[in-house]
């Protein structure tokens, strides 16, 4: 697509239907369940003896992303991956997505190509098909909505409401990196806006920048659980912060929880950046969000099978609802856990 002579045209010059043809002309379906994709009035999917999982996510310029420091290819990749993460959080496999975008006239065909190249790269990496979508004009910038469709056998699907007393609380990967990556980008943007002769200083923070700009969904964790016959009793992905996601599980399961601050996994680069901002690293992990790791509970008897994997950290256990939601600090003090993660409808965050 990058060699297309039309790729510098404004969207208004190309027109909606030629744009759709331009963006979807090279799509090839990979999954047997994708019977009919782009090119008809609707997609046709076939899921014999499976249950269908559907999720959708909306990203709006100025609210969810800033194009001053977010490459369009990275944005497209992230827009797809965050939906895959929701499917994995149901212990299911993503198979198809439907893309809808609204764009203003400031975008050229080349820019939209960049966005879609990121989406298509994510789909290739996770073996997901693009089976439809829509385009529209916008007066306020760029909006992306992706609907993801997945499949799972009924016995494998994991909900938020299944956690039971004494279950182990587990998280994949490490937490807080995406939030600290965002703080770094916002700081450098602010400096650049005040003095454009000062170039952004991002050296030494590749990991947390990738966590913010190009996250990955934890398909590997789903495979580990399946390989070891570990059936989570509840699961959710960490998009709004560990504390908020724990509150969701506790509320839906009608239980309490106890987690230990020293058990919460935080990358050294995240710690270093947090220290620069005078932020407690564990606070970034609890409240930052956008890590897209998996938070799940497993029966106590699964401790040995779960603990042997370095990709998984056991950070606490489920308690009776009467005990509330507790964070145990390094010195053994108990604090009431607060849900202070991302809320897209609040003005002051």
pLDDT tens readout for residues 149-163: 999 888 898 999 999
Greater confidence (13 vs 278) lies with: 278
- Is the separation of the CB atoms in 238 and 295 below 8 Å? yes
Q: What is the SS3 string spanning 139-194?
A: CCCCEEEEEEEEEECCCCCCCHHHCCCCCEEEEECCCCHHHHHHHHHHHHHHHHHH
The pLDDT assigned to 67 comes to: 95
Q: Residue 11's pLDDT band (boundaries 50, 70, 90)?
A: low
Query: Residue 344: pLDDT above 50?
Result: no
Q: How far is CA 15 from CA 49, 73, 108, 118, 236, in A?
A: 42, 22, 11, 22, 40
Q: What is the DSSP string of 35-61?
A: EE-BTBSS-EE--TT-EEEEEEEEEEB
**pLDDT at position 37 over 70:** no
pTM for the model stands at 0.87
Main-chain dihedrals φ then ψ at residue 95, nearest 5 degrees? -130, -35
Go through the domains of the chain in sequence order and give each one's CATH number: 11-152 (3.30.1330.10), 160-336 (3.90.650.10)
Is 50 exceeded by the pLDDT of residue 41? no
Query: Which pLDDT score is estimated for 40?
Result: 46
Q: What is the pLDDT of residue 348?
A: 41
SS3 32: coil
pLDDT number for residue 347: 41
Distance between terminal CA atoms of the chain?
Answer: 40
Measured CA to CA, the distance from residue 271 to residue 192 in angstroms comes to 25
Residue 194 CA to its chain's centroid (Å): 32
pLDDT, average across residues 46-62: 87
Spell out a b/e string for 156-176, using b for 16 or more CB atoms within 10 Å of the CB, else e: bebbbebbeeebbbbbbbbbb
Q: Is residue 5 scored above 50 in pLDDT?
A: no
303-311: average pLDDT: 95
Residue-wise pLDDT for 210-226, tens only, equals 999 999 999 999 999 99
Over residues 4-26, the mean pLDDT reads 57
Which residue(s) pair with 102 in the sheet? 136, 143
Tell me the pLDDT of the chain averaged across its residues: 88
Residue 28 β-bridge partners? none
How far, in Å, CA of 320 to CA of 303, rounded? 20
- Identify the band that residue 134 occupies on the pLDDT scale cut at 50, 70 and 90: confident
Q: Which helix (H) or strand (E) holds 24?
A: helix 16-24
pLDDT in tens, 238-284: 999 999 999 999 999 999 999 999 999 999 999 999 999 999 999 99
Q: How do the residues of the chain divide into helix, strand and coil, expressed in percent and rounded to 5?
A: 35, 25, 40
| CA separation for the pair 174, 98 (Å, rounded) | 30
């Amino acid at each position: 697509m990058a060699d297309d002579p039309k790729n510098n045209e404004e969207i208004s010059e190309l027109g909606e239907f030629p744009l759709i043809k331009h963006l979807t002309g090279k799509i090839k379906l990979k999954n047997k369940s994708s019977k009919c994709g782009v090119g008809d009035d609707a997609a046709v999917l076939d899921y014999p003896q499976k249950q269908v999982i559907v999720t959708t996510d909306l990203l709006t310029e100025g609210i969810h992303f800033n194009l001053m420091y977010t490459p369009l290819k990275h944005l497209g990749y992230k827009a797809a991956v965050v939906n895959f993460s929701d499917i994995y959080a149901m212990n299911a496999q993503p198979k198809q997505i439907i893309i809808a975008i609204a764009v203003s006239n400031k975008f050229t065909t080349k820019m939209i190509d960049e966005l879609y190249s990121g989406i298509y790269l994510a789909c290739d990496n996770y073996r997901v098909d693009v089976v439809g979508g829509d385009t529209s004009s916008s007066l306020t910038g760029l909006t992306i909505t992706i609907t993801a469709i997945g499949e799972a056998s009924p016995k494998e699907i994991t909900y938020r409401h299944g956690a039971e007393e004494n279950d182990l609380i587990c998280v994949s990967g490490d937490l807080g990196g995406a939030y600290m990556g965002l703080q770094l980008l916002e700081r450098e943007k602010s400096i650049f806006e005040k003095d454009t002769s000062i170039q952004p200083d991002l050296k030494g923070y590749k990991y947390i920048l990738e966590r913010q700009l190009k996250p990955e969904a934890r398909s590997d964790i789903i495979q580990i659980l399946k390989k070891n016959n570990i059936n989570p009793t509840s699961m959710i992905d960490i998009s709004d912060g560990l504390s908020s996601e724990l509150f969701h599980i506790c509320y839906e399961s009608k239980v309490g929880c106890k987690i230990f601050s020293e058990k919460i996994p935080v990358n050294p680069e995240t710690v270093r950046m947090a220290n620069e901002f005078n932020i407690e690293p564990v606070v970034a992990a609890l409240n930052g969000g956008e890590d897209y790791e998996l938070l799940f509970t497993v029966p106590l008897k699964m401790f040995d099978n779960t603990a042997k994997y370095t990709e998984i950290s056991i950070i606490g256990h489920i308690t009776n609802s009467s005990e509330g939601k507790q964070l145990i600090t390094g010195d053994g003090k108990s604090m009431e856990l607060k849900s202070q993660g991302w809320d897209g409808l609040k003005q002051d965050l």
